[in-house]
């Protein structure tokens, strides 16, 4: 899978104007910026991340942006969940176990592959 071009941290997280991103690169940067702002101990859904990035209805693009993020960005990928706070990886998979472990290490309760709704973050406040 193609990797995004390496850019400086500050270039990737520059503030976006109120308009929606117009290019694929702007869309990725907007999504990465939103994910980077999800606070420790909180989670958000792919759909909410996309909406906060100015891309309503583009939850799958948020997932793609996470997969394509440069490794050196160290985004808190584990704080992004499926709808309703569900871990999207198959139960028992390495990624499922890793996401559960990382969330628990931040004090987020995980039960049966879901987090408590109280852990869901309102991205409009960020």
Domain ranges in the chain are 23-125
Q: Which stretch of 33-37, 75-79, 100-104, 118-122 has the lowest confidence by average pLDDT?
A: 118-122
Calculate mean pLDDT across residues 17-46. Answer: 88
Strands 114-115 and 80-81: unpaired
Q: Which CATH architecture has domain 23-125?
A: Orthogonal Bundle (1.10)
82-110 pLDDT, tens digit each: 999 999 999 999 999 999 999 999 999 99
In angstroms, the Cα distances linking 109 to 18, 23, 35, 47, 113 are 35, 37, 20, 21, 10
Instruction: Tell me the per-residue pLDDT of 32-62, one tens digit each, with 9 for 90 and over.
Output: 999 999 999 999 999 999 999 999 999 999 9
pLDDT at position 111? 95
At a CB cut-off of 8 Å and minimum separation 6, what does 126 contact? 34, 37, 38, 39, 52
**At CA 89, angle to CA 81 and CA 40, rounded to 5?**
35
The verdict on pTM exceeding 0.85 is: no
């Amino acid at each position: 899978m193609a990797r995004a071009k390496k850019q400086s941290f500050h270039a990737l997280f520059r503030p976006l104007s109120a308009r929606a991103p117009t290019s694929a690169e702007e869309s990725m940067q907007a999504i990465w910026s939103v994910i980077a702002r999800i606070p420790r101990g909180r989670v958000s859904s792919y759909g909410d991340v996309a909406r906060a990035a100015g891309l309503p209805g583009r939850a799958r693009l948020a997932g793609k942006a996470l997969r394509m993020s440069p490794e050196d960005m160290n985004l808190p990928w584990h704080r992004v969940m499926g709808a309703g706070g569900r871990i999207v990886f198959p139960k028992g998979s390495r990624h499922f176990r890793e996401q559960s472990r990382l969330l628990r290490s931040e004090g987020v309760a995980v039960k049966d592959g879901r987090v408590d709704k109280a852990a869901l973050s309102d991205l409009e406040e960020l």
